[in-house]
Structure 1
Amino acid sequence: MIRPEKRVCMSVKKWLQCFIGGIFYLYCSSCSAPKNITYFQDMPDTARYRMVAMAAFNTPVIQPDDILQVSIQTLDPNATALLNQQNTANWPVSATSPSSSTGAGVIAGYLVDKEGYVILPLIGKVMVKNKTTDQVRDTVRTKAAEFYKDPVVNVRFANFKITVLGEVTRPASYVMPNEKITLLDAIGAAGDLTIYGRRENILLIRDNNGNKEFIRFNLNDSKIFSSPYFYLRQGDVVYVEPNKSKVVSTDVAQVRRISIMATVLTLLIVVASRVKF
């Protein structure tokens, strides 16, 4: 017959073992890797070719406070240097190029004023608001042709900035090299998602005539290529949410407490197993 003291000891040991097992399970589950880490999971592994309809690309238009790089080339080197001297003006920004790992820099170009004009040397004021860079290029070329023969004009955005935040390798604001930028380009510039990023719930935040638009993307689904928001605009913000594993793993104090409790309870089990009542 088992003595009451022995029965109590066995109950305590069994309870401690169950408690340790529960803590160990919780610890392991909190550190488990997310399952949905593969992009475009609806694409079959055996498919060698599949066509997906692409979203239409709308050329971005210039707005006040944009910065433009305008270069005018002529047959006269002195005139060319004079026409392009303001392109060396630096406007401070908190953005990086896609190849840079720093968080601040400068942008050279012409600032669009609140009324939508830029002022070019010799050319004067040019209205650029709500125009594409191609339209501004044609306008500047026409004005420059009044003074110079066969001028060559190039116009591009100098501050086509996209901000990528959240669970990416390098969250920052990035000045992109051209106007045709996709969601995947922005994520790639930021070094891709970390293992803790939610691929199925990417958030795009966009200014639209003074209002904020919020759009969700699922990188596990190839339908994103058909989304009208697949091509980004200057000023867009991309946010990658952390998954549950990240939320749990960042609670360092909780993990530390669990580890200490597990160690103490293990010692108690060892001690209890050696005690004779």
Structure 2
Amino acid sequence: MNSRVILLLGFIALLTGCVSPKQVVYFQGVDSVSDSVLVAPTFVPIIRPADVLSVQVNSLNPEKSMIFNPYMVANGGNAATTAGATASLPAPVGYVVSMSGEITIPLLGPVKVAGQTVDQAGRTIAEKLTRFLKEPTVDVRNLNFRISVLGEVARPALFTIPNNQVTIIEALGLAGDVTIVGRRDNVLVVRETNGAKKFARVDLTRRDLFRSPYYYLHPNDIVYVEPGKARLASADRASQITPIVLSALSFVAIILTQVF
């Protein structure tokens, strides 16, 4: 009886797929510290119409500063940002950039911010605030910097990035990493540029990933991890071998009944 059970288990093992280590190891080809220095292209997000901005004003006049922080007052002194990236929550509270590229701040009125980085926008607003405050500093954050991670990952979701910068590796980390059967060598990134969708393939197993223009993700990027051959094959085999397995289990049950 034992030999028949062993043969049955061996038969089932042959029907299941296996994944090669080369298919799951990241950054292959890094042999030593000396030859692994790669510089990633920098990416600094630019403010665009329809972005939602958090504007936090500080100065040597704290009480007067609060006049310019209405959203912080409404949220108990805390703007709608978080310390780390989270799965997307309801729409954040902040200043919506108009189609003309402006936000309207109390007392200041409309301020042109589109086309600037958040640091540049902060300096622009701070300069205008010198009429009202002593040595103002302004922290601007983009509250709707969001990326989607889908497919063969542990936790597919839409993520909000509070520090306005994220790499594809960090995004996959937020999603719990690629599953063992996900394709790391052919990750799809969908990016919208000037109203047009662009599609790019990224190989996470290569060390030159760090030179890719898709290493840093842009707002509203979609990252999709395809299932590998093992996943597709196992799904197909599951439908094929289920009747075989059930018959085999019935056979084992009959043998056990006869023995005991």
TM-score (norm 2): 0.81
1:182 aligned residue (152, 156, 167): 167
Query: Are residue 160 (structure 1) and residue 139 (structure 2) matched?
Result: no
- Give the drift of 1:150: 1.1
Indicate yes or no: 2:134 matched with 1:149. Answer: yes
**Deviation string for 1:224-254 (max 9, x for gaps)?**
1011221111111111111122224446544
Separation of aligned partners in 1, 2:182 and 2:70: 45
Q: Matched residue of 1:238: which SS?
A: strand
Q: Which amino acid is 1:171 matched to?
A: P
SS for the counterpart of 2:217 is coil
1:54 matched residue in structure 2: 39
Within 1, Cα distance between the matches of 2:83 and 2:15? 38
Displacement of 1:28 in angstroms is: 3.3
Distance in 2 (alpha carbons) for counterparts of 1:261 and 1:209: 58
Percent identity over the alignment is: 37
In structure 2, how many angstroms separate the alpha carbons of the residues matched to 1:218 and 1:38? 11
Distance apart, 1:171 and its partner CA: 0.8
* 1:55 alignment partner AA: A
1:53 is displaced (CA, Å) by: 2.9
In the superposition, the TM-score normalised over structure 1's length comes to 0.76
Structure 1 gaps of 5+ residues are 1-16, 91-95, 271-277
Counterpart of 1:199 (choices 184, 188, 191) is 184
Shift of 1:137: 1.2
Q: CA deviation at 1:136?
A: 1.0
Alpha-carbon distance change, 98 to 216 in structure 1, aligned in 2, over 3 angstroms: farther
Q: RMSD in angstroms over aligned alpha carbons?
A: 2.8
Contact kept? 2:122, 2:137, Cα under 8 Å: no
Note if contact 1:205-1:214 (Cα within 8 Å) is conserved in structure 2.
yes
Q: How far apart, CA to CA, are the structure 1 residues paired with 2:72 and 2:115? A: 21
Deviation string 1:108-160 (CA, Å, 9 cap, x unpaired) is: 32111222211111111111112111221121011101222211111121221
CA distance in 2, matches of 1:203, 1:187: 12
Q: Does 1:256 align with 2:242?
A: yes
Larger Rg: 1
Structure 2 counterpart of 1:28: 14
SS of the residue 2:210 aligns to:
helix
Query: Are 2:29 and 1:42 equivalent residues in the alignment?
Result: yes
Distance, in Å, in 2 between the alignment partners of 1:161 and 1:83 is: 26
Q: How does 1:111-126 map to 2 (within 5 A)?
A: 111-126=96-111
Q: What is the alpha-carbon distance in structure 2 between the residues aligned to residue 198 and residue 97 of structure 1?
A: 31
Output one character per residue of 1:27-48: Cα deviation in whole Å (capped at 9) or x when no partner: 634342344111112223xx24
Aligned residues: 241
Name the amino acid aligned to 1:75: L
Are residue 84 (structure 1) and residue 46 (structure 2) matched? no
Q: Which amino acid aligns with 2:16?
A: S
Change (3 A) 1:88 1:148: closer
Name the SS of the counterpart of 1:122 in structure 2: coil
Q: For structure 2, list consecutive stretches of 5 or more residues without a partner in the other structure.
A: 76-81, 256-260
CA deviations 1:187-238 (Å, max 9, x no partner) are 1111111111111111111000011111111111001101122111111111
Cα distance between partner residues in 2 of 1:219 and 1:198 = 9
Partner of 1:220: 205
Distance 1:258 1:34, change over 3 A: farther
1:106 Cα deviation from its structure 2 partner: 4.5
1-structure distance, mates of 2:186, 2:59: 50
Structure 2 residue 48 is the aligned partner of structure 1 residue 63: yes
1: CA distance, partners of 2:200 / 2:125: 37
